[in-house]
Amino acid sequence: MAWRLSIRKGDTVKVIAVRDKGKQGRVLSVDPDSLTCTVEHAQTIKRHTRPNPAKQIKGGIVEREGPINVSNVMVVCPACGKATRVRHQTLADGSKLRACHRCGATLSQH
Ligand SMILES: [Zn+2]
């Protein structure tokens, strides 16, 4: 039932909880099984990498985005520019749409 998730890869979302509250970024990936997503520049995890000359890995600290529960992010509507809840609509032909709860604009389906 992946379509029930209100966020999709490529959406712009606002983080509403966790450490990076208020941050806005693009969704890099969504994991429908664990109900988590990764958001550009949000919830970054610092990873200490050991140098491995054989693999051309220099070592040091690498920052990468960590998983955020999808309930902690809100889609930013491209039409009204606000963080919004997503309304799911089912059309007469059975296809499903996501729409902005505030202004009713259809969000891209990706
Ligand atoms: Zn809107």
From first to last of the 110 residues of the chain, give the pLDDT tens digit: 445 688 999 999 999 988 889 999 999 999 999 999 999 999 998 888 888 888 888 888 888 899 999 999 999 999 999 999 999 888 899 888 899 999 999 997 76
What pTM did the predictor assign?
0.80
Interval between CA 103 and ligand 1 midpoint (Å)? 4
Cα dihedral sign, 75-80-85-87: negative
- Which residues hold their Cβ within 5 A of ligand 1, which is an ion? 77, 79-80, 100, 102-103, 105
CA distance 91 to 97: 7
Cross-strand partners of 25: 13
Gyration radius of the chain's alpha carbons: 17
CA distance 88 to 94: 12
